[in-house]
Amino acid sequence: MTAPRTAFVLGGGGILGATQIGMLRALLERDLRPDLVLGTSIGAVNGAFLAADPTLAGLTRLSGVWADLAGGAPALAGREPAAARGRRLTRPRTSASDGETAADVRRERRGRSRRPGRRVPMHLYPPGRFLRMLRHHLPVEEFGELAVPFQCVAASVERSVAHWFSAGPIAPAVLASCAVPGIFPPIQVGDEHFLDGGLVHSIPVGRAVALGAERIFVLHVGRVEQPLEVPRWPWEVAQVTFEIARRHRYVEEMASLPDDVEVHALPSGADDAPTVSFLHANERYVSRRVEAAYDAAGRYLDRR
């Protein structure tokens, strides 16, 4: 009997994506490897590295990237250096290309206020550093060079649909999948602009089923384990609303799985899963998430 076609599905969640490192370690140590990898947002980052080298050695490389991210390296976290933060905010290029074009210049001008001397920021971080980090650390450049088939999703602004990247350069596609509104600008790839994949497919289990997966390991970041509470403050309304929009498709797809598809939603081992997760970028927090997920996922896999 042949082994079932196995998919690893990695959801979004900012710095909480460190949870997936622990889950991956538990899976790979038990010789569980994917035939297909799907990723959303930070899950697209982790998924791309996994698909490039689905071994413990490859995971060690990815863990090194996360160690730098947890340490607050500006090139990884998307922060401006201290000197640059003191300067006037400008609207950086929105294209996934490193080269500046005339269109880039026009977009920058349109992003400025008409009031003389004032410029309007549309997002917190410029995407260039994150893009360069991906290009520097990923061992391959094109989807076709990956050891395992990989797809990542982003939300098309112009078409208002989920767009799945599965060919061409990896880094711009992953960046597009990570373009959280307000954090990064819309990312241009080709003739379209894209926002974070979590807007349309936060944990794409249904995509794995559609592509023929018979066994699915779901690597979420812990949010779906925590029930939502009725908002009590004005700022909580937007957070809860966005979280409902982010969760509902996953909940519906899990409830309508075919009988012949085996699904394992790995436990995160965490007792919290904040919706504003980028605030927790420190080494101790990341390490705790990794180890908690490793222990919880390991116990789950040993019992199945």
Residues assigned a catalytic role: 41, 196
Long-range interactions of 65-73: CB distance < 8 A, separation 24+: 65/133, 65/137, 66/18, 66/21, 66/286, 66/290, 67/283, 67/286, 69/15, 69/281, 69/286, 70/15, 70/18, 70/281, 70/282, 70/283, 70/285, 70/286, 70/287, 71/283, 72/281, 72/282
Task: Give the rounded distance of the alpha carbon of 278 from its chain centre.
Answer: 12
CA end-to-end span of the chain: 19
Which string of b and e fits 162-189 if b means at least 16 CB within 10 Å?
bbbbeeebbbbbbbbbbbbeeebbbbbb
State the Cα–Cα distance between residues 184 and 44, nearest whole angstrom.
15
Q: What is the largest CA-CA distance in the chain?
A: 72
